[in-house]
Amino acid sequence: MKPILITFLTVITLFFNPDSSFGHVYDMVNSASGVESSMMLPVMGLTSNYALFSTNGSVTNSGITFITGDIGTNVGQAIGFNVLNVKGIIHPAQDITTTMCKNDLLTLYNSLNLMVPTVEIPNPAQFGHNFILTPLTYHLNAATILTDTLFINALGDPNAVFVIQISGALTTTANSRVILMNGAQSKNVFWKIDGAITLNDNSIFRGIVVVNNGAIVLKASVLLDGAAFTTDGAISVASSSVISPFAKLTAAIENVGSQNPDIELIVAPNPFGTFTTINLKDDSKFINCNFSIYNTVGVEVMSSIVTKQVITLDTSMLHAGVYFYRLSDKNKIIQSGKLISQK
């Protein structure tokens, strides 16, 4: 059984009415103890680029499914997805990015697994039922069934982090709901599951699902506002929608495209190692433009003023992973695209 932090823990059961119904509120009283309830976000690495990923297992779809984010597996095949319904890259088999994602997924799982729970939730088979979770690390010590509605309450802090650790499988009942409240964001909600997860028909689920040694099943008409990863297991989707919150952040950069179809900006090599070059077709029209590189959460990691047609960039400080570039002139985006560092 995982250790439980008891010294500073007070679990309060309150009545609250967020949606014309009552529920239990799990919170930590830290005004007297001085304990901070805020947590650091775990490092996502390349997993943030994916909506669905398995380190070892097939990723398959049946029916009309919509995905925002990449899809892939490092061992097996990703099949059955209509490219017209996927806003991202489908990696049908192992490639350099799936290999990097495999390593980053293991790091992400380990970081979530090492977090010490602050609240032990009793009766895992009765999870949900209008419970309200505030920003803490929670633990359920058995197979869990999410029934009815679960509220995720950020208490007005959009950076609030939630971690739910489940020592067993997770199943949602049909028509169950996970609802975000008071600034909570799906990109800050992490589900660490040691077992399989099944999201049953018409479920609305939110957060980043990290499964260890288990299958992931999304049945008909499921909405996953988040992403789903497994270290070992198949992923199957049936006529559902998955919207990665990180893909939404990068879409503004990646999908802007060229505002001028005559521009030909070439970045090579791509994937790159310790250096890459940018080559402008028209070296007179776009001199003094700004060339910037962003990570997958939209943070600028490199910027350079274009002073000539061909410029070599030192990229040795960039970690392996996916990045996005943008050529702009006076805040007007001229061209953008995706870059991959493979160091």
Structural domains of the chain, ranges and CATH numbers in brackets: 45-250 (no CATH), 256-341 (2.60.40.10)
Please answer whether residues 214 and 194 qualify as being in contact, where contact means their C-beta atoms are separated by less than 8 angstroms.
yes
Question: What percentage of residues in the chain have a pLDDT greater than 90?
Answer: 54
At 230-282, the pLDDT tens digits run 999 999 999 999 999 987 655 555 544 444 445 567 888 878 888 888 887 76
217 neighbors 197 (Cβ within 8 angstroms) = yes
Residue 17: its H or E element: none
Q: Which of 247, 219, 259 is nearest to 235 (CA)?
A: 219
- The enclosing H or E element of 252 equals helix 245-254
Which CA distances in Å does 282 have to 82, 261, 312, 332?
37, 13, 17, 17
Least confident of 86-90, 200-204, 211-215, 238-242: 86-90
CB atoms within 10 A of CB 304: 14
Residue 295: φ, ψ to 5°? -85, -175
Residue reference for tokens 């489908």: 90
> Does residue 176 register a pLDDT over 90?
yes
Closest CA to 326 of 263, 236, 237: 263
The reported pLDDT for the residue numbered 249 is 58
What is the pLDDT, as a whole number, of residue 202?
A: 93
Asked if 104 and 90 touch (Cβ cutoff 8 Å), the reply is no
Indicate the SS3 state at residue 297: coil
Which residue spans within 194-320 are E strands per DSSP? 197-199, 204-211, 216-218, 223-230, 235-238, 241-243, 265-268, 275-280, 290-294, 300-305, 310-314
d(CA 109, CA 115): 10
Inter-residue contact 158 to 133 (CB < 8 Å): no
pLDDT band at 318 (very low <50, low <70, confident <90, very high): confident
